[in-house]
Amino acid sequence: MLGLPQTTEVKRSLPKAQLFKRFDWSASQRERFDAEVSRLDFVNWISPRTLPAIAVGNDIREIFVVEVSLKCRDFDTKVITLLAKYIPQRIVYLLRYKDEAMLAAYHTQLFSTPWRAIDDIILPLSGLNLDAVWENMVSSIGQFSVEEDKSLSEQIKVDEERAKLERQIATLERQMNATKQPRRKRELFIELQKLRQKLD
């Protein structure tokens, strides 16, 4: 499954009751989680023990794949974010509903792929150590690339700032098009130019 080597395959259930007992979730968080998730299973364990060709990273010693069987396709992403924040492991989530699935990973924020047929989903496994493998998995799921001189966290921050600038530019452009006063139009134009320079 997911194109991962057979040596990484495990099948261990992660009972919801155990999660509720272990984590200090509020009643509403437990209810929402229970309403959307039917079961969780560890399905892959990526480590030097299961893949001797990949070394331990400076930060990462192992990566897990957890299959999350959903009760509905339109789930609340906060459910997965909550799970990711409480389990201090590097985990790729295979979110499954009937014959469709999507991948998700949390690294400072939640990234996910579009829904696809379960058999069409491949999780790339590339890198010489687990730090690089995780970076490649997250960037593949989030559909972005990490520049050579940046870490994964730095790249995410840069991309977030760029997206924020693009939203500000779009807002200013709408304001400029709606403004009739020449003086205000000119002020908005100057502001727009400054923001566009930051993008370059």
Burial label, 187 (beta-carbon count in 10 A; 0-12, 13-18, 19+): middle
CA gap 159, 180 in Å, rounded: 34
Phi, psi (deg, nearest 5) at residue 9: -75, 130
Q: What is the pTM of this model?
A: 0.76
C-alpha dihedral, 136 to 141 to 142 to 145, nearest 10°: 30
CA gap 94, 43 in Å, rounded: 9
Whole-Å CA distances, 35 to 75, 92, 177: 9, 21, 46
Residue 85 has pLDDT above 90, yes or no: no
Q: State pLDDT tens for residues 32-82.
A: 888 999 999 999 999 999 999 899 999 999 999 999 999 988 888 888 888
